[in-house]
Amino acid sequence: MAVLDHISSQEAMALENKYGAQNYHPLPVVLSKGKGVYVWDVEGKKYYDFLSAYSSLNQGHCHPKIVNAMIEQAQKLTLTSRAFYNDMLGKYEKFATQYFKFDKLLPINSGAEAVETALKLCRKWAYEVKGLDLNKAEIIVCENNFHGRTTTIISFSNDPVARKNFGPYTEGFIKIEYDNLKALEDVLSTNENIAGFLVEPIQGEAGVYVPSDDYLIKAKALCEKYNVLFIADEVQTGIARTGRLLATCGNCSCESKDCSGTPDVKPDILVLGKALSGGLYPVSAVLASNE
């Protein structure tokens, strides 16, 4: 099939509707070009891109520094698999862990994969470090959350569309009201099998719900009090989307608000994605301490 030099909006939408899986409902705009904060449709109409691919493009469309770095590496080496070492992975891991002030990093692809990995890490910690009975660990999540669309993640979603006809669902999660410290402590104080608390610093899919100013600090303090892991899903809010390096920084006690190292609110496990690659490549990461 020859590559089409030009296609109308109606033709593009018709092709996608006919041959693509109907798992999404896009707006009727067909984009063909982007630069910085702007995008253009196939008819040449210019738009501001306030959506930024759900925060994947915090650095802007087609940032030349990122594009050039990708081209340079792609012309040298594209893939090795983890069967071998390569000369770039360690450099990336060192830079990212030092930048965000963690000990270890696991690079992955999608944000949902990163959340799943964080859940696995939390459970493993609960059995091997905290000493919970095997297969008894539970993780607290919030109502109206959005952490992805994998089978485990939709198991604790409130979205009926995301859950319909995809059961049976994964067990081991307790849902509480977001921005409700009493609800959090009620579960922590009565359930000795809690391994962690997974939370979005700002709920995105729920309508950009910003919690109370002291919510994250006090939630972190409760997690420390009851010896459970505080897991921050910053896939959408991270990498300066909120004006801070991380959204959790907006609740820390440091004056500069430019780091993730303040003990008051630093997550035990940090989940990043989307803007981590500038929107050019699917990259996510889970960061944690050596413990």
Distance CA 133, CA 70 (A): 46
Please identify which of the residues 102, 146, 173, 197 carries the catalytic annotation.
Answer: 146
Q: Is 146 annotated as catalytic?
A: yes
Active-site residue 50, yes or no?
A: no
Q: How far apart are CA 44 and CA 63, in angstroms?
A: 20
The single residue of 220, 233, 266, 268 carrying the catalytic annotation is 233
**87 flagged as catalytic:** no
Alpha carbon distance 5, 16 (integer Å)? 17
Q: Residues near 118 by Cβ (< 8 Å), separated by ≥ 6?
A: 198, 231, 233, 269, 271, 286
Q: Which residues are catalytic?
A: 146, 233, 274
